[in-house]
Amino acid sequence: MRAAGFDFGTSNSAIGIVKGNAATLAPVEGSSTMIPSAVFFDFADHDKPHYGRDAIDAYVNGNDGRLMRGLKTILSTALISERTALSKRAIPLTDVIAMFSRHLRLKAEEALGAPVDAVVHGRPVRFVEGDDAADARAETTLASLARQAGYGEVSFLYEPVAAAAQYEQNVKQEEIVLVADIGGGTSDFSIVRIGPGRDRASDRRDDILANTGVRVGGTDFDRNLSLAAVMPLFGLGTELVDKQLPMPRSIFDDLAWWPTINLCYTPKIQREAEEIHRLAVEQEKTARLLAVLSKHLGHRIAFAAEQAKIDLTADDSASVGLAFVEAGLAAPMTRETFDEAIASELTRLRLAVWNCLALADVDAENVDTVFMTGGSSLVPAVEAVVRDEIPNASFKRGDDFLSVGLGLTLEAQARYA
């Protein structure tokens, strides 16, 4: 059977194939083996779908249409049964996921030169926290979407276990590793016993000592940064003329989070925003909110917030550029303010590491290596939390964006080849 390993990420995706005896990632956009998990429907061209960087560029260039990002997150929320409006019809959000998945399957087949029948699909340790039934439903939904995308056979592997398999390829001796995969939508941890040759055992269950996962990731960091620095420029936290009425938050919350941005572009929300503007004390700010909604600039704001967050990985201060809303408009941000804005998320990460150690019944001193992967593991405050919990381990990184995809492909080779 010909099998692929598919890392469907909240922010970025990759797909791998087994060619000859080697597991490799397929080029998915030009020569790149990574593609942003984004779909854009072009209203001027019969709702034609664009994928990845191409989708983002079409949106940023101002084409009339609908951009979808953060699609994986909807698997964990009530949005799973929602539709999104295209130019003349509305389609289920689940169909958009299946289209994206099919697009990548076709890329894998192109690279392989043959049809792919089976897939090892990555999944976070928890789609839904604290509700096993809902978590299982999310996996069932994803499996049926993978079949809709054309795979006959679908099985799953925890994303951090996949990353451990990839890391294991290069180790020289047996070790206990804690994998920390901090992505766009979730943070996942596994404690695994690895070593040269161990991957040949048919059953590795005893080597996987514990897995924990929380729904915390880079898209949450973007939202918190936006709520702290950007949304106040659009009226969040300002007063209404009638002091009895507080400024409603929900529009700002939805506008600041990738998966909910499109919910803001309905006539109902437009009317609500006009009412807010009519009553606002600082109308120069709410006027910007009206402009953002009518010009569908929500994703532009999210990209700008994400870019400022990434800048804060290297620098102590950054600025969210908002000139596309108003000439000269920008929101300054310091690393310190950003760390404060994500404090509760950092606490949840700390607890997840702690729980993983407890479940594995391993003391922090007995973890030999911490393998950090996922784009959000680059956030200095995130790395600091993990170092703080496991101070004596050696810290290693692979490719922050590709380890999971490669690990899933190695597993596809083991399961199906």
Ligand X SMILES: Nc1ncnc2c1ncn2[C@@H]1O[C@H](COP(=O)(O)OP(=O)(O)OP(=O)(O)O)[C@@H](O)[C@H]1O
Residues of the shown chain interacting with ligand X in the complex, contacts defined by CB under 6 A = 9-12, 72, 159, 183-186, 217-219, 306, 309-310, 313, 374-376, 378-379, 401
Take residue 404 and report the two structure tokens written for it.
């999971």
Min dist CB 347 to Mg ion, Å, is 21
The CA distance from 155 to 333, in Å, is 43
Min dist CB 405 to Mg ion, Å, is 9
Closest CA to 48 of 70, 30, 66: 66
Residue 414, number of CB atoms within 10 A of its CB: 17
3-class DSSP state of 187: strand
Crossing angle of helices 93-112 and 132-148, rounded to 10°: 50
CB closer to ligand X, 279 vs 310 = 310
CB closer to ligand X, 9 vs 235 = 9
Given ligand X, Mg ion, none, residue 12, with its beta carbon under 5 to 8 Å by kind, binds ligand X
CB closer to Mg ion, 42 vs 135 = 135
Given ligand X, Mg ion, none, residue 286, with its beta carbon under 5 to 8 Å by kind, binds none
C-beta of residue 309 within 8 angstroms of C-beta of residue 227: no
Min dist CB 310 to ligand X, Å, is 4
Given Mg ion, ligand X, none, residue 185, with its beta carbon under 5 to 8 Å by kind, binds ligand X
Min dist CB 185 to Mg ion, Å, is 8
Given ligand X, Mg ion, none, residue 72, with its beta carbon under 5 to 8 Å by kind, binds ligand X
Given Mg ion, ligand X, none, residue 219, with its beta carbon under 5 to 8 Å by kind, binds ligand X
CB closer to Mg ion, 286 vs 403 = 403
Tracing tokens 């006009």 back to the chain, one arrives at 274
CB closer to ligand X, 235 vs 374 = 374
DSSP letters for 20-51? TTEEEEPP-BTTBS-EESEEEEEGGGTTEEEE
By CB under 5 A, name the binding residues for Mg ion: 9, 183
Closest CA to 298 of 19, 66, 27: 66
3-class DSSP state of 85: strand
| Cβ-proximal residue to Mg ion, closest one | 183
Residue type, 45: D
Take residue 98 and report the two structure tokens written for it.
């299946």
Q: Give me the count of residues in the chain.
A: 417
Min dist CB 28 to Mg ion, Å, is 15
Min dist CB 217 to ligand X, Å, is 4
Given ligand X, Mg ion, none, residue 70, with its beta carbon under 5 to 8 Å by kind, binds none
Residue 17: which residues within 8 A CB-CB, separation 6 or more? 2, 4, 23, 24, 25, 26, 108, 111, 112, 116, 409
